[in-house]
Structure 1
């Protein structure tokens, strides 16, 4: 992957991470408000995706540095 493409890829992953964090916030708020149940799997799935994307960003940045 070329450096410019890697930068774009990282940027898009960072946007995804921001959106996931916002989703986790709203799911937690909905849970506390009683709008969704405490056992709602969506919150755990969103947290798992947040961890995966965060690790992907770290890996992509490391790969970009290696290729420079």
Structure 2
């Protein structure tokens, strides 16, 4: 079942990131632990910034928080690709997360673009 609400989707994504980090801890590889920690930080930050955006003080603040979430998602993608390319994790361990990260980036980008369009339209009407 696909989750379409971005807040729920990024929450579930963060849970998967925690699972991946726990798996890396069991491997006890130093590079895996360091990169895994970087991934865990950026992956859990995506949803946190989206949650924070919900109470943004303005549309500009909303866009700013979503832009931070977008950057964190892109960083998460980098760490996942690095874990896979370095063979710290197998392709099957990262395949779903890489796909989901790309989809989350697309959704966040669309939200930012649409909000900016709405903001421009509001300014024109004034």
Q: TM-score, normalised by structure 1?
A: 0.88
Tell me, in whole angstroms, the C-alpha distance in 1 between the residues paired with 2:99 and 2:88: 16
Deviation at residue 34 of structure 1 after TM alignment = 1.2
Q: Which residue of 2 aligns with 1:65?
A: 120
Counterpart of 1:31? Answer: 84
Shift of 1:36: 2.0
Report the counterpart of residue 7 of structure 1 in structure 2: 60
User: Which runs of structure 1 show a deviation greater than 4 angstroms over 4 or more consecutive aligned residues?
Assistant: none
CA shift, 1:35, in A, is 1.9
Please tell me whether Structure 1 or Structure 2 has the larger radius of gyration of its CA atoms: 2
Q: For each residue in 1:36-60, what CA deviation from the matched residue of structure 2 results, as whole angstroms up to 9, or x when unmatched?
A: 2212211110111001101111001
Distance 2:62 2:87 in 1: 37
| Counterparts of 1:50 and 1:19, CA distance in 2 | 9
Count of residues in Structure 1 that have an aligned counterpart in Structure 2: 65
Q: Which moved more, 1:7-16 or 1:30-39?
A: 30-39
Give the unaligned 5+ runs of structure 1. Answer: none
- Return the TM-score normalized by structure 2: 0.49
Bigger RCO (CA 8 Å, 6+ sep)? 1
Equivalent in 68, 71, 87 of residue 18 of structure 1 = 71
Partners of 1:52 and 1:36 in 2: CA distance: 26
